[in-house]
C-alpha cells in the first residue's frame, strides 16, 4: 500500500507542487529505470499524447488509457482498426486526437514486428554513458539533448511517430535514462 506522500516534509523537485497524483508519480515512478518493450511502448504512447498538454492531464487519464489500449500490449494495439479508432475518438476518458491515436496504433505495429527486447535495447542505447552534473534548479534541466535528438531520429527512421526530441527527452527522464532530480530533492541519488 502506498503511503500518503502529502503527509511528509520531504523536499522534492519544484515541478511537483502539492498535487497528490504528481507527488506519487515523482516519488514512485519518475526517474526510476524502466525496462521492457511493453512498458516503454506505453511511455512512448503516453508521452506522445502529452505533446502540447500538461503531464498531469495524462497522468489522471492513464488508467483509462490503459483500459482502452489493451494495457498497451503492442500485439493487441497493432490489431486495432477503424472501428477501434472510432471507439477511441468517442471516449472522453482519453485525449481524443485522431493523429495521436493513429500514431499509437502504427507505433504498436512497429513494436510488434521488432524482436523481443529490441525496443528496450534501442531506447536504452541512447542513455548517456556519463551522468551530467545534477541540476541545481529546474531552469538547468534541458528540454532536448543530443541523445534525445538521436533517439528521435532513430525511432523516426524505423517509422515511429510522435517521437520528437522533446517528447523523447521527457521519456528519458521518466524512464530513468537520465536523472534530472534537482539538488536537494530527496530522490536525488
* Residues recognised as catalytic: 25, 47, 55
C-alpha cell of 9?
A: 516534509
What distance in Å separates the CA atoms of residue 182 and residue 14, rounded to the nearest whole number?
A: 8
CA dihedral 6, 7, 11, 13 (to 10 degrees): -10
Q: How far apart are alpha carbons 141 and 148 in whole angstroms?
A: 13
Q: How far apart are CA 173 and CA 65, in angstroms?
A: 21
* DSSP element (H, E) containing 75: helix 74-78
Q: How far is CA 165 from CA 15, 126, 154, in A?
A: 20, 12, 11
Place of cell 528496450: 120
Burial of 50 (0-12, 13-18, 19+ CB in 10 A): buried
Amino acid at each position: 500500500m502506498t503511503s500518503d506522500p502529502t503527509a511528509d516534509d520531504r523536499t522534492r523537485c519544484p515541478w511537483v507542487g502539492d498535487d497528490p497524483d504528481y507527488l506519487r508519480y515523482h516519488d514512485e515512478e519518475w526517474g526510476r529505470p524502466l525496462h521492457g518493450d511493453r512498458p516503454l511502448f506505453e511511455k512512448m504512447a503516453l508521452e506522445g499524447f502529452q505533446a502540447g498538454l500538461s503531464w498531469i492531464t495524462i497522468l489522471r487519464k492513464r488508467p483509462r488509457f490503459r483500459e482502452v489500449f489493451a494495457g498497451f500490449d503492442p500485439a493487441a494495439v497493432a490489431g486495432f482498426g477503424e472501428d477501434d479508432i472510432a471507439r477511441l475518438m468517442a471516449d472522453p476518458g482519453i485525449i481524443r486526437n485522431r493523429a495521436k491515436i493513429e500514431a499509437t496504433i502504427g507505433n504498436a505495429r512497429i513494436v510488434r514486428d521488432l524482436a523481443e527486447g529490441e525496443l528496450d535495447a534501442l531506447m536504452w542505447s541512447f542513455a548517456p554513458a556519463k551522468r551530467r552534473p545534477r541540476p541545481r534548479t529546474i531552469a538547468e534541466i534541458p528540454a532536448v539533448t543530443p541523445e534525445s535528438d538521436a533517439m528521435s531520429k532513430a525511432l523516426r527512421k524505423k517509422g515511429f511517430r510522435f517521437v520528437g526530441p522533446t517528447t523523447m527527452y521527457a521519456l528519458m527522464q521518466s524512464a530513468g535514462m537520465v536523472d534530472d532530480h534537482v539538488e536537494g530533492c530527496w530522490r536525488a541519488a
